Homo-oligomer: A and B are copies of this chain.
Amino acid sequence: MAKRLAYLGPRGTYSEQAAIDHDREAEHVACTTIPAVVESVGKGLADQAVVPIENSLEGAVTFTLDLLIHHSDLKISGELVVPIDCNLLVDGDTKMEDIKAVYSHPQPFGQCRVYLMNNLPEAEHVASFSTAGAVEDMRNSTVPAAAISSARAAEIFSARILDPNIEDVPNNQTRFVVLGEEDHVRTGRDKTSFCFDFESDAPGTLYETLGELAKRGINLVKIESRPDRRSLGRYVFLIDLEGHRDDEHVQAALEGVRSRSSMFKILGSYPMAANSSSE
């Protein structure tokens, strides 16, 4: 039986692209919300799940982080980096001068602001739930319309790309993580994600904690503090480091952090994406 891989639908989103990039042969299961994607694994409806975690257009990514910290025991077993392309899609022979309305998720409008101002200053902007949904919304429009969406969406919904790569700042990317019951075995080029908080916020607590990594020569790839859901101003820290939790020096460092922290949770060790340049 093919592996079942859950993602944030509908088809044609960047999340589907990430699911395809991760495992083309798997059965891809579209879910309607990020919690539903994550829960599908716990409920046995899927074997793994792909969720956006950094700089996504379609999912609230802090939402994914909070879910991993507070509400899920799934482990991260992989990561992927997907390029984000904003294209102006139309149906049939609609021309630039015909367009009276533009559909997309609120975020791409922000990313294509200068383009729209210069090329479609009079067009109405209409919000959609996803860049893929925008193509459907465009088709239901009562006036000639366009959608800002991916080349992949143009392909599967048979829409025409009137103008490619219309984003104001190029090289936009989204990082996704693969979630499952277990994380990944050691490959020699790995990352480990974990989170923790402190009982007290005495000066130097975080500094001393990072010392557990520094004194073992472990490279920090990313650090983030997320507001504690109980009150603004208290924080949970999230760290990505270079190495696998089975590496002896990483294991010792994680033990050191655990002994200094109040809550402590290893989110998983997994191979670093080839295009996730931390070098």
Interface residues of A (CB under 8 A from B): 33-35, 54-55, 60, 62-63, 81, 105-107, 109-110, 113, 125, 127-129, 169, 171, 173, 175, 201-204, 206-208, 210-211, 213-214, 217-225, 227, 229-235, 237, 275-279
CA distance A133 to B33 in the complex (A): 23
A224–B224 touching, CB < 8 Å: yes
- A85: min CB distance to chain B, Å: 15
Interface majority SS (helix, strand, loop, mixed), chain A = mixed
With a CB–CB cut-off of 8 A, which chain B residues contact A211? 207
With known contacts A207-B210, A210-B206, A213-B203, A175–B232 Cβ distance under 8 A: yes
With a CB–CB cut-off of 8 A, which chain B residues contact A219? 201-203
A233–B221 touching, CB < 8 Å: yes
B234–A107 touching, CB < 8 Å: no
With a CB–CB cut-off of 8 A, which chain B residues contact A235? 222
- A163: min CB distance to chain B, Å: 21
